């Protein structure tokens, strides 16, 4: 904060207490706080206005182009894909077969899980529909 250390701040505080007085010091701090709040608000407003002006003038597009030019390898690969219309690289036959095998196994597992959940839900619904079973009285012992 302005290059002041704790010792300098302490000296400024003591001088302010002596010069301004203890009665008016809280009012001074309130006024300083309001001033800094207004200054921050004006700075935010200015920065937003500058960002909006930059957006309107196309600075973001230029920035994207410069960033792409800074990484020519990625820029070149993207342009080649764009020119050829290739969005994905084709898989080798072995990798395609492995992909299909994994997809089929995951699909089968999902179907099995759905069937199991449906059976559990049906069993639960049947158990609640039947209601609690009445208890049969125990046979009485003859004495």
Block means of pLDDT (10 residues each) for the chain, 143 residues, are 79 89 89 94 94 81 74 68 70 86 92 94 86 60 58
Q: Confirm if 62 and 54 have CB atoms less than 8 A apart.
A: no
Whole-number pLDDT of residue 110 = 92
Residues 108 and 51 in one domain: no
Per the domain annotation, does 130 fall within a domain?
no
Total domain count, the chain: 2
Taking every pair of C-alpha atoms in the chain, what is the biggest distance, in angstroms? 109
Whole-number pLDDT of residue 44 = 95
Residues 13 and 67 in one domain: yes
* Domain termination site, one of 82, 112, 134: 82
Whole-number pLDDT of residue 119 = 94
Whole-number pLDDT of residue 2 = 65
Whole-number pLDDT of residue 115 = 95
Whole-number pLDDT of residue 137 = 61
Per the domain annotation, does 46 fall within a domain?
yes
Whole-number pLDDT of residue 62 = 79
Find the domain containing 121 and state its range.
92-125
Whole-number pLDDT of residue 126 = 87
**What is this structure's pTM?**
0.37
Residues 51 and 114 in one domain: no
Residues 15 and 78 in one domain: yes
Residues 54 and 14 in one domain: yes
Tell me the CA distances in angstroms from 99 to 26, 86, 93, 108, 111, one per residue in order: 72, 20, 10, 14, 18
CA distance 100 to 96: 6
Per the domain annotation, does 65 fall within a domain?
yes
């Amino acid at each position: 904060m302005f290059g002041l250390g704790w010792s300098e701040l302490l000296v400024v505080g003591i001088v302010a207490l002596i010069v301004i007085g203890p009665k008016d010091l809280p009012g001074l701090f309130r006024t300083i706080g309001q001033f800094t709040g207004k200054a921050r608000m004006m700075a935010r407003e200015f920065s937003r206005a500058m960002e909006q002006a930059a957006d309107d003038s196309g600075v973001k597009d230029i920035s994207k182009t410069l960033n792409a030019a800074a990484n020519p390898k990625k820029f070149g690969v993207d342009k080649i894909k764009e020119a050829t219309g290739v969005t994905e690289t084709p898989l080798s036959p072995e990798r395609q077969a492995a992909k299909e095998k994994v997809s089929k196994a995951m699909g089968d597992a999902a179907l099995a899980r759905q069937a199991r959940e449906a059976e559990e839900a049906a069993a639960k619904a049947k158990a609640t529909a039947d209601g609690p079973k009445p208890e049969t009285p125990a046979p009485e012992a003859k004495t």
